[in-house]
Amino acid sequence: MSEITRADVLELLAGLGERELGTGPDAERIDSMELAWFVHQAEQRYGVEFDDARLDRIRSITDAVAVLNEARGDAAAKAARVAADG
């Protein structure tokens, strides 16, 4: 399983519409509408779920990358445990 990158997160957000590509802290920030869109898209595409603790950690593109990679790792580990239990 390959790591999610910044480009992957930006691709998920692109479906919401144009995103300003400025510089500085606002360019990195994810607003509430983008967060809702990101979560929906990530759950659909990658089959992951975000609990409240994870959602609270997503404030930026960098956060989204880290949390999505963590959620994917947890989902893969859970699937492996289920398969092993047969």
Count: domains in the chain: 1
Q: Does the residue 63 lie in any domain? A: yes
Domain presence at residue 75:
yes
The CATH number for 43's domain is: 1.10.1200
Q: Which of 3, 15, 12, 17 is nearest to 61 (CA)?
A: 12
SS3 25: helix
pLDDT reported for residue 17: 82
Asked if residue 41 is part of any domain, the answer here is yes
Confidence at residue 23, expressed as pLDDT on a 0 to 100 scale: 58
Element (H, E) at 84: helix 61-85
pLDDT tens by residue, 2-24: 999 999 999 999 888 876 655 56
Spell out the residues 6+ positions from residue 34 whose beta carbon is closer than 8 angstroms to its own.
Answer: 13, 16, 19
Which residues constitute the domain of residue 77?
A: 6-85
Query: Backbone phi, then psi, for 15, in 5-degree steps?
Result: -65, -20
- Examine residue 1 and state whether it is found in any structural domain, yes or no: no
Q: What is the model's pTM?
A: 0.85
Question: What's the rounded Cα separation, in Å, for the pair 6 and 46?
Answer: 15
